Amino acid sequence: MTCDAEELRLRLPHIELAAQAYGPAQGAPVIALHGWLDNAATFARLAPKLNGMRIIAVDFAGHGHSDHRPPGGGYALWDYVHDILLVAEQLGWQRFSLLGHSMGAIVALLLAATFPEKVRRLALVDGLIPPTTEADGAVATLAEALQGRLALSAKRKPVYPSVERAALVRQRGVGHVSFEAAQLLAQRGLMSVEGGFTWRTDSRLTLATPLRLTQAHVNAFVGALNCPTNLVLAEQGLLAHRDGLDQLLAATSISVERLPGGHHLHLDDEEGAQLVADCFNPFLSAP
């Protein structure tokens, strides 16, 4: 089941973000963060199943209906953390829970670890830590990123004749999704152009990350978590075979639920969304 969400515009000092709101205005405050190249519609099936929550599902900068960063800007994870801190401030929320999928889960982790006084609970879907690069790989990583940035002006976004065609392509993209899930993401993520439709997302989002965290950095952020955290891992998801993840989790108090499905199990179908909701309803509503 999906339901109509309330559309919001969040005017931050440096950028304007779009968001979708679910649930009663006086519900428990939750900010929901989507994955890379997705948008707030990733929660269209899950959010209506979370009871008693006021869920603000944000389009990250450069995604969905949110503004793009200004020329010369980038999309570092910590910039997203800054944005969400300002979103919470605008909403008047001193303490709130975070619901994150994939990249959104990573941003949620960084925020919760850095500002523990603000985050009540952390609910994560198939995401926790970013890809890492050790110091000896930093030079090559930066070179690749800057070469991509120099070549970006010569690239053009693909144009699709229909929303359905764009959804078919998205279905086969990173983090394979069902066609129905791809349609939900496409309906929010596309815009009309001459000849058809193209994605609203900022082309800079496809560039390689200039500087990645090392494993030691990741360990420090995970170790700094002190709020209750519930991680849903998809059995066919992107973290299913992540090297070192089990050892990392074993050293934490993070509660882990393993559910059938792929990386977008919360969006692919109603059954998967309900399974995730069954994990998060008691967790997010706990005192």
Q: 92: burial class by Cβ within 10 Å (0-12, 13-18, 19+)?
A: exposed
SS3 32: strand
Distance CA 105, CA 174 (A): 16
Both tokens assigned to 272: 């998967």
For residues 232 and 261, is the Cβ–Cβ distance under 8 A? no
Q: Which of 97, 102, 253, 285 is catalytic?
A: 102
Of 122, 136, 144, 105, nearest to 215 (Cα)? 136
Residue in 98, 55, 53, 54 with CA at minimum distance from that of residue 80: 98
Token pair, residue 17, equals 């973000």
CA distance 138 to 121: 33
Report strand pairing: 96-101 vs 190-193: unpaired
Three-state secondary structure call for residue 72: coil
Active site residue 102: yes
Rounded Cα gap, residues 181 and 266, in angstroms: 9
The C-alpha atoms of residue 189 and residue 200 are separated, in whole angstroms, by: 6
Residues noted as catalytic: 102
